Structure 1
Amino acid sequence: MSGYSIDQAAAQTGTSKHTLRYYEREGLLAPVAKAPNGHRRYTDDDLGWVRFLQLLRATGMPIREMKEFVALTHAGDHTIADRVAVLAHYREALVARMEADRDHLDRLEMKLDYYRGVLQAADAEPEDITRRERASGQPARS
């Protein structure tokens, strides 16, 4: 029997053997075929499912909802509209997180630029910064 051992499947998907067994046990992954010696043998389709489950998990989808999504998939094509709705919901949440992260990054960059400017000014003319601080009565802003 051909296919991938659990070690190979774990390496190819970047997940642990424990997670692969867990996905199968929880019904997220269809029962994996076994070789005559009883060892799991994963197919390319199995690995594709694992990668899709990783994607769902990375969106923040809880295991419970992943199980519901897998059940919709197994129920047939009449559930495609429901699947689209679920994925669209997680897409919207992901886009919102990305926008918030972009805002955080922009604000962090502004602060870094400020501090780098302070360091450059201090390296160039340390006495000028000290004079400005004395004149204002306050240390440089953080």
Structure 2
Amino acid sequence: MVEDTPTLSIGEVSERTGLSVHALRFYEHEGLFVNTVRRGPGGRRVYSQDDVAWLDVCIILRASGLPVTALRRYAGLVREGAGNEEERLALMREHQERVTTEIGRLTESLDLIRYKVGVYEDVVDQGSAAAHRCHAPSPSADEERAPLIHHEAVVQ
């Protein structure tokens, strides 16, 4: 019986996922697909909707900082099927911890940026008389900004 699943070209998958054709070939070469990329007549790559859905997962995991080696391992575990859920869970928990730590770092950075925006808004609103205050927060800064005060080199 002939399979009636619609197939997509590499260009169509590129458009749908935002990954370049080069990146799609790289993903295939690195073993990041769960299913083997099929070839159509003439040897051209053909993809299924399942392939696109898997790529969406890969894109999110990569954007969150998951290394290619870990993504390759995860794809391999998924490819193997049931029975390795504990290993998948461990991999995802480890990555969750890294992402949580990075969110903490980014939150600290955002706090500093918000502080600097406030300082420069004050300077702009008050004119040049307040300009001397834009290099470091004053000792009387709000308590919630206190952790940032100790990083004078960063504040400048």
Q: Which runs of 5+ in 1 are unaligned?
A: 134-138
Q: Please state how far the C-alpha of 1:83 moved relative to its aligned partner.
A: 0.5
The 4+ residue runs of structure 1 with deviation greater than 6 A are none
Superposed, 1:73-84 pairs within 5 Å as 73-84=78-89
Per the alignment, residue 132 of structure 2 pairs with 140
Q: 2:11 aligns with which of 7, 12, 15?
A: 7
Q: Which runs of 5+ in 2 are unaligned?
A: 136-156
Question: Percent same amino acid at aligned positions?
Answer: 29
Aligned pair 1:51/2:43, yes or no? no
Paired AA for residue 79 in structure 2? H
Q: Please state how far the C-alpha of 1:80 moved relative to its aligned partner.
A: 0.6
Question: Which stretch has the larger CA shift, 3-12 or 27-36?
Answer: 27-36
Q: Please state how far the C-alpha of 1:56 moved relative to its aligned partner.
A: 2.2
Task: Output the CA distance in 1 between the equivalents of 2:94 and 2:123.
Answer: 44
Superposed, 1:87-126 pairs within 5 Å as 87-122=92-127
TM-score by length of 2: 0.74
User: Could you list the per-position Cα deviations for residues 70-109 of structure 1 after superposition, in whole angstroms to 9, with x for gaps in the alignment?
Assistant: 2222222211111011111111211221122122111211
Larger radius of gyration: 1
More helix by share: 1
Task: Output the CA distance in 1 between the equivalents of 2:48 and 2:112.
Answer: 46
User: Could you list the per-position Cα deviations for residues 103-139 of structure 1 after superposition, in whole angstroms to 9, with x for gaps in the alignment?
Assistant: 21112111221121122112xxx6xx3xxx9xxxxx7
TM-score by length of 1: 0.80
**How many residues are aligned here?**
129
